[in-house]
Amino acid sequence: MEEDVGPSIGLSTIMKLTGTLPILLGIVFLLTPRTAIAVGPHLTEYGIFVSMYVGVFAILLGLSQWLVSIYVKENLHIFGRFFAFGLGSTVLLEIYGWTTGLMEFEFKFLFATMIPVSATLVLLLYSISPEQTETDTINEN
């Protein structure tokens, strides 16, 4: 008789993968702020400075997601939902920028927005129910 092992990729791995996205974006914001965002060519020196701040905070957000995925075991699904909310809020900001005319709408920007949308959905799907630990399985038997 075969046992149902469950998903081969756990929430911890998903959080590490989705945590890589803000780390990479933060590095790009630090290295090339004018080409990293849609309004980059219109940035003043102050805008570039703010973009560098955003890059640093994006790196910290990604690193915190990595640390949570490594050290938190029991309540990982709560953190998964929290980080999904954060990624989803960036998508809402993109949509706000398009609808208000702050950013020009191009197909390439829509494609780039699909990455955080996908990461948000994957985090939410894996965060629906908490993963069972070994002690929970032993206690049930």
CB under 8 Å to 36, separation ≥6 — which residues?
Answer: 25, 28, 29, 51, 55
Tell me if 68 is assigned to some domain: yes
Cβ neighbours, 10 Å, residue 71: 9
- Which pLDDT value is given to residue 140? 61
Q: Between 96 and 1, whose confidence is greater?
A: 96
Tell me if 27 is assigned to some domain: yes
Tell me if 66 is assigned to some domain: yes
**If residue 121 lies in a helix (H) or strand (E), which one and from where to where?**
helix 107-126
Q: Does 56 have pLDDT greater than 70?
A: yes
pTM: 0.77
Tell me if 38 is assigned to some domain: yes
Q: Does 82 have pLDDT greater than 90?
A: yes
- Which pLDDT value is given to residue 30? 93
Expressed as residue numbers, the domain containing 108 is 11-129
Tell me if 6 is assigned to some domain: no
* Total domains, the chain: 1
Contacts of the segment 35-44: beta carbons below 8 A, 24+ positions apart: 38/97, 38/103, 38/104, 38/106, 38/109, 39/102, 39/103
- Which pLDDT value is given to residue 2? 54
CB under 8 Å to 80, separation ≥6 — which residues?
Answer: 11, 14, 15, 123, 124, 126, 127
Q: Is 90 helix (H, G, I), strand (E, B) or coil?
A: helix
Q: What percent of the chain has pLDDT over 70?
A: 87
Tell me if 139 is assigned to some domain: no
Q: Between 18 and 132, whose confidence is greater?
A: 18
How high does pLDDT run on average in the chain?
85
Alpha-carbon Rg for the chain, nearest whole angstrom, is 18
Q: Between 22 and 109, whose confidence is greater?
A: 22
**Do the beta carbons of residue 20 and residue 42 sit within 8 Å?**
no
Tell me if 118 is assigned to some domain: yes
pLDDT tier, 85 (very low <50, low <70, confident <90, very high otherwise) = very high
Tell me if 140 is assigned to some domain: no
pLDDT tier, 98 (very low <50, low <70, confident <90, very high otherwise) = confident
